[in-house]
Structure 1
Amino acid sequence: MPTHLVNIKDKLFENIFENAPNGIAIVGLDYRWVKVNRSLIELLGYSETEFYSMKFPDITHKDDMDVDVEQLNRLVNRDIESYQIEKRYFHKNGNIVWTLLSVSMELHIDGSPLYFISQVVDITKQKEILWEMNSIKEIAKNQNDKLLNFAHIATHDIRSHIGNLGMITDFMEEETEGIKDDENFKMLKESLSQLEVTISNLNEVRNDDFSLHTNLAPKNLKLFVDNAMYNMNAIAKNEQCQVINEVADDVSVLGVSVYLDSIILNFLTNAIKYRCKERNSFVRFRSLVQDGFVILEIQDNGLGIDLEAHRSDLYQFRKTFHQLSDSRGVGLFITKNHVERMGGRIEVESEVNVGTTFKVYFQKA
């Protein structure tokens, strides 16, 4: 090759070597640094003079030495052409730098080993992100375990109290003449029965994973509306709010019992809470089937919501729209999450001082 071409080739290699964004080093067979580029100097903090006075084991984490040396020996023995490992170096300031190290070997003309060529990529940030993600996963796992333990204790203890209350109502029936025909006593017994159903549904969630839509089961929608009406019967009666169930008898949706209970109960509770006291209040449940979805329509003639002002933050956590002392801004946030976890969505129409209609889309069973 002509001399001027050799000079151009050497100059080109020198420019690539010096200006490469990642660390590059030529390392002798005795593990001494022969040549290092600017990126490696900046990455590990040692000067060029300091590098040339050391061997690479001097700044290598001891736990990574054996695998590195083993791979170097395999290179020398021509068992492999190159290798790549994750490796830790010590920065001059004492910090550990995680790198992705790629090593190949340059040979003499006669085929004997000449030196190693190392390429060093800084992956410290990626490692830190991975550690943070693993930490978050571990925290979430611990919190989930605590919640499961809490759910187990809570459902067990509440069931014990339900049993005790059931026995008390039985005693009342035996000892109080005519109480069986009392409407308030009937509502009390029905509420205890529905509370037992709710605890069973909570156990269903505790024992199973409903994170995937494929785990949903067919549920009769009308029965869940009936249950919510029973649970709210006394409150609706006290607030003089008529609750109407016009959901079709034969309509089933794909869902989770405890989520359906929560969704319907929350809409009914809100409709009663935000009723207009200046007129006779009502809440009407109706069902429609459309494009593979069952739409549960919840209509009321209450205070309504200013959607121009609040449509974008309607389901945000701790967001309220009426100045009631017991408003917490949690119900719609939770309800939306339940609906979406079951593969559905919510639409709303509302007019201030006229009323609100929520349309909840459930997957049709």
Structure 2
Amino acid sequence: MKGNSLLNYENRYLSKQGKVIWLSWTSFPVPERRLIYAIAKDITVKKQLEADRNALIRQMSGSIEKMRQSNYTVSHDLRSPVNNLFALIDLLDPMNPQSSESQEFLDLIRVSLCRLKVIFDRYLTGVDNEEVSAVAMESVFVPEIFKEVVFSIDTLIVSSEARISTDFSAWETVRFSRVFMYSILLNLITNAIKYRREGVGLKIEIETMWDGKGQQMVIRDNGIGFDMDAVDRAIFGFRKKFTDLPDSNGIGLYLVSSQIRALGGDIQLTSKKGEGSAFLLTF
């Protein structure tokens, strides 16, 4: 209408049969004759191919993100059991390797290595047997997972003199991912140990409960806590760090948040600097 040619203008139509058809128009005006010459090309197949391609790209992007998250999970979750092994090795007496005490520590190391292999095999089995875009949901017995976590970091718990109390009376079983549950408990417990207050005995409480939203779990500690005004919503961001500790990498809480939200749940933090933290998980 303005006297300009129009190239490759796409719009869609509904046929009498109810089928959506895409047309690509090329047109040019002849103002002196008050005419517009136009030709339309049916590009329905092309548009469908583009839609299929875009869907595939979205699927691949999601798969790549899940693979990246899986890599972070494996590398991060294996750190604590490995640190536990180093702590045991440090307790060995190099001057008397045959002593009963050294043999006891060697037995513990052997058990820890077996446990580490089980964890690693579980992740590998998950990668082999599951589609990358899906996570296996199953009935998870939380007290058992808790015992596995405590066993894998036993030396760290003892050396930090942490006191962990649990109350699973509200519920013990939840439909969730076993691997994710292990990772969540491992990260939140080791974080509580890592960020404990100097001179204050560390207390960690784990409790299950019900509310209008369904099954919930709260994990509390009396550690250094967070300044909620400062961390805002970034607390669960990737590589977001709020301390200067050399072992802080900003991945643990990101993994916890990603894992529970990936399966339709939620996580909320209540904390006050110098007074500890409480993480509320909704499944």
Task: Verify same fold: TM over 0.5.
Answer: yes
Q: What's the TM-score, normalizing by structure 1?
A: 0.54
1:318 aligns with 2:282: no
**Equivalent in 106, 130, 135 of residue 208 of structure 1:** 130
CA distance in 2, matches of 1:176, 1:212: 49
**Equivalent in 136, 139, 150 of residue 218 of structure 1:** 139
CA distance in 2, matches of 1:222, 1:192: 22
Distance 1:211-1:236 versus aligned 2 partners, 3 A rule:
same
**Equivalent in 183, 191, 206 of residue 112 of structure 2:** 191
- In structure 2, the partner of 1:355 is 276
Distance 1:281-1:219 versus aligned 2 partners, 3 A rule:
same
CA distance in 1, matches of 2:57, 2:132: 21
CA distance in 1, matches of 2:63, 2:268: 36
- In structure 2, the partner of 1:252 is 173
Distance 1:135-1:288 versus aligned 2 partners, 3 A rule:
closer
Distance 1:186-1:352 versus aligned 2 partners, 3 A rule:
farther
SS of the equivalent of 1:228 reads: helix
- In structure 2, the partner of 1:55 is none
**Equivalent in 179, 185, 190 of residue 269 of structure 1:** 190
Distance 1:286-1:143 versus aligned 2 partners, 3 A rule:
closer
Aligned length: 238
SS of the equivalent of 2:118 reads: helix
What is the CA-CA distance between 1:250 and the residue it aligns to?
5.8
Q: Deviations 1:155-182 (Å, cap 9, x if unpaired)?
A: xxx9xxxxxx9xxxxxxxxx95746983
- In structure 2, the partner of 1:305 is 226
- In structure 1, the partner of 2:7 is 43
Report the identity percentage.
20
CA contact (8 A) 2:216 2:280 kept: yes
CA contact (8 A) 2:166 2:207 kept: yes
What is the CA-CA distance between 1:222 and the residue it aligns to?
1.0
Distance 1:306-1:121 versus aligned 2 partners, 3 A rule:
farther
CA distance in 2, matches of 1:122, 1:262: 49
Q: What does residue range 128-139 of structure 1 map to in structure 2 within 5 Å?
A: 133=54, 136-137=57-58
Q: What does residue range 1-365 of structure 1 map to in structure 2 within 5 Å?
A: 18=1, 38=3, 41-43=5-7, 99=24, 118-119=39-40, 133=54, 136-137=57-58, 140=61, 178=100, 182=104, 184-185=105-106, 187-206=108-127, 207-209=129-131, 215-248=136-169, 251-291=172-212, 293-362=214-283
Q: What's the TM-score, normalizing by structure 2?
A: 0.67
**Quick check: 248-257 or 126-135, which moved more?**
126-135
Q: Which residue type is aligned with residue 43 of structure 1?
A: L
CA distance in 1, matches of 2:279, 2:232: 13
CA contact (8 A) 1:347 1:359 kept: yes
Note the residue ranges of structure 2 that are not aligned, 5 or more in a row.
9-19, 27-36, 79-84, 86-96
CA contact (8 A) 2:63 2:133 kept: no
CA contact (8 A) 1:220 1:251 kept: yes
Q: Which residue type is aligned with residue 224 of structure 2?
A: L
Distance 1:351-1:250 versus aligned 2 partners, 3 A rule:
closer
CA contact (8 A) 1:85 1:100 kept: no
Distance 1:247-1:181 versus aligned 2 partners, 3 A rule:
farther
CA distance in 1, matches of 2:167, 2:106: 26
Distance 1:354-1:43 versus aligned 2 partners, 3 A rule:
same
Distance 1:284-1:275 versus aligned 2 partners, 3 A rule:
same
CA contact (8 A) 1:254 1:342 kept: no
CA distance in 1, matches of 2:103, 2:173: 34
Larger RCO: 1 or 2 (CA < 8 Å, sep 6+):
2
CA distance in 2, matches of 1:138, 1:361: 27
CA distance in 1, matches of 2:65, 2:239: 23
What is the CA-CA distance between 1:199 and the residue it aligns to?
2.5
CA distance in 1, matches of 2:215, 2:107: 32
- In structure 1, the partner of 2:92 is none
The CA RMSD measured in Å over matched residues stands at: 4.3
Q: Deviations 1:122-149 (Å, cap 9, x if unpaired)?
A: 99xx89975983684586499589x69x
Distance 1:141-1:190 versus aligned 2 partners, 3 A rule:
same
CA distance in 1, matches of 2:226, 2:63: 40
- Which has the larger Rg? 1
Q: Deviations 1:278-323 (Å, cap 9, x if unpaired)?
A: 2111222122133463322111110000112213211111111111
